[in-house]
Amino acid sequence: MTADFLIIGSGIAGLSLAIRAAKHGKVICLTKGSLLDSNTAWAQGGIASVLAESMRDEGDSVELHIADTLDAGAGLCNEAVVRTIVSEGANTIDDLIHYGVDFDKKNGHFSLGKEGGHSKRRILHARDTTGREIAEALVAQARITENLILLENHFAIDLITTGKLGMVADDRVLGAYALNRDTGEVEIFRSDRVILATGGCGKVYLYTTNPDSATGDGVAMAWRAGATIANMEFIQFHPTCFYNPAASGAEARSFLVSEAVRGEGAILINQKGEDFTKKHDPRGSLAPRDIVARAIDHEIKRTGAPCVYLDVRHKPTGFMKERFPFIYDTLLRFGLDCEKQPIPVVPAAHYQCGGVVTDINGKTTLRGLYAIGEVACTGLHGANRLASNSLLEGNVTARRALDEMLAHLHPNRESVELMDIPAWEHGDTAAPDELVVIYHNWDEIRRLMWDYVSIVRTDNRLRRAATRLRNLKKEVREFYWGHRVNADILELRNLVSVASLIVDCAVKRKESRGLHYTTDHPNTKATHAIDTRTRKF
């Protein structure tokens, strides 16, 4: 199939771009699972934006939002990018409302929340399932949009480039190979405008708040195609993932308790009921996520306790059920009434701040390839993402990427259609006993990343991780080339690639900054406060 725009991913970035792009040509949107299987759909807190003056929190301004973002980013944000994305946020909120997103209101005005690192209330939300509200509205709009083909269960394997076909003089993207999971066949999708909107890589860690689909596919594909990747050492750990070892099931292991709960007054306490966070930052439980996650990690290691607690018992009866019904009901299903008992929590992998290096318009270093949303490294987040800036970034860069493509990258469908792209060659089907090894490798990668490349790092742990990952990459490569591809093999291949990129980037950063904290280099170095786009690994 050939398209003017080939979009890989179906979160806020991918779908908002797809809907807009369909007015200008044929769009194919691939997603490896269902359209609602995205990090966007799992987002609870909301989307940060400074609204028109009559609708914003008293004293809030675009300049304050910029300042909060720069502060959270620990000296590594690209200020020009921050200024652009924050300034354009309000206009994209209008787009979402037009598509049917119903943000909470009070007395006719938007009900704005507050989260860690924000100096004012500026988080638009739909109770505590904002991402789901946005995702469902975008999917509904996409399904009725002409010129837009939505293909679920299509797992993009690799980008097709002229370089890979031997035409190195003009390296550009030509499309992608994708596995049709319903038929088991690999199909060719042709386009000279390919947009990665694949989300993040949370599943590279043993404990994560992300859905199972977050296996770093876009970063791995871009890396194999020759695009520049940067700052993958900055993996954000959300401070408050529900901790309940007695509960079973994926939801129990990855259930996020939104930062917005702390924004409404919840306090982190230890087993003695002490607010330990104030020892680490005067903002306490509402400090930026890197600080709070390290404070929790320090407290758990200091006391030997398995977790800390989020306390909302001081709030009025009924408050949690009204403001955070999804969180309240989910905790209740696990046997915990959060209005009477403190919520046990631990940090878990949540968001990648690095990724495929792009400019403010999503343009990568490979001609015709764009990346938007979490998969991209625009310079907005720096060394630590400010809460609820992710949905904002995806929505703004989707609009800017389309404008850039329409203005500067004219489609050349005829040449793409005539290009001789070889058909996919299948390997043999993996034997059942070999599949066991695949699953073992999957678990081993996630566990070693959690043990060696987590919230606090050391040179020795990073070296151990790098050594083991080299061996795992060799094993995975043999599986990939020796067997017929399936989703498990493809995800494992991407996981080991992304894990290696995280470790390689972490080894190169000989300082502690934002989300990258190492006991061997505890200080922050002024010489390392550089534009993210200059770091190429």
Q: In the prediction, which pLDDT does 427 show?
A: 78
Q: Is the pLDDT of residue 428 over 90?
A: no
The reported pLDDT for the residue numbered 536 is 40
Per-residue confidence band for 226, with pLDDT thresholds at 50, 70 and 90: very high
Rounded CA gap, 394 and 49, in Å?
13
pLDDT for res 250: 53
Of all residues in the chain, the percent with pLDDT exceeding 90 is 86
Paired with 457 in beta bridges are: 518
| More confident site: 535 or 444 | 444
Polymer length in residues for the chain: 537
Q: Which residue has the higher pLDDT, 10 or 484?
A: 10
> What pLDDT band is residue 529 in, cutting at 50, 70 and 90?
confident
Q: Are 151 and 7 in contact (CB under 8 A)?
A: no
398: closest CA among 114, 30, 88, 171? 88
249: pLDDT strictly greater than 90: no
pLDDT single digits (tens) 355-369: 999 999 999 999 999
Would you tell me how many other CB atoms lie within 10 Å of the CB of residue 513? 24
CA 335, chain centre distance (Å) = 30
- The pTM of the full predicted model, rounded to 2 decimals, is 0.95
Please pick, among 83, 127, 190, 289, the residue that the annotation labels catalytic: 289
* Angle, alpha carbons 138-152-433 (nearest 5°): 140
Residue 485 contacts residue 427 (beta carbons within 8 Å): yes
Identify the burial level of 146 via C-beta atoms within 10 angstroms of its C-beta, where 0-12 means exposed, 13-18 middle and 19 or more buried.
Answer: exposed
Chain-wide mean pLDDT for the chain? 93
**Dist. CA 16–CA 135, nearest whole Å:** 10
To the query of whether residue 193 is one of the catalytic residues in this protein, the response is no
Unique residue bearing structure tokens 């490294």: 377
User: Quick one: tokens of 386?
Assistant: 């400010």
pLDDT in tens, 80-124: 999 999 999 999 899 999 999 999 999 889 999 999 999 999 999
What percent of the chain shows pLDDT beyond 70? 95
Q: Which two tokens stand for residue 177?
A: 């190979």
Residue with token string 């979402």? 96
Tell me if 236 sits within 8 A of 390, measured CB to CB: no
pLDDT digits (tens, 9 = 90+) for 442-498: 999 999 999 999 999 999 999 999 999 999 999 999 889 888 899 999 999 999 999
Contact 258, 236 (CB under 8 A): no
| pLDDT over 70 (residue 247) | no
Of 138, 45, 126, residue with least CA distance to 99:
138
- Say what the pLDDT of residue 426 is: 85
Residue 52 above 60 pLDDT? yes
Q: Helix, strand or coil for residue 140?
A: helix
Beta bridge partners of 178: 156, 187
Overall average pLDDT of the 250-255 stretch: 67
- The predicted-structure confidence for 29-48, as pLDDT tens digits, reads as follows 999 999 999 999 999 999 99
Domains and CATH numbers, the chain: 241-348 (3.90.700.10)
pLDDT at residue 139 in the model: 98
β 355-357/376-377 pair status: parallel
**Which residues of 197-336 form beta strands (DSSP E)?**
229-230, 235-242, 267-269, 308-311
| Assigned token pair, 206 | 């043993």
CA distances from 506 to 24, 474, 511 (A): 41, 21, 9
Q: Say what the pLDDT of residue 166 is.
A: 84
Residue 275 pLDDT level (bands cut at 50, 70, 90): very high
For 413, residues 6+ apart whose C-beta sits below 8 A from its C-beta are: 2, 4, 190, 191, 192
Burial class (CB in 10 A: 0-12, 13-18, 19+), 407: exposed
**Can you state the percent helix, strand and coil of the chain, rounding each to 5?**
40, 20, 40
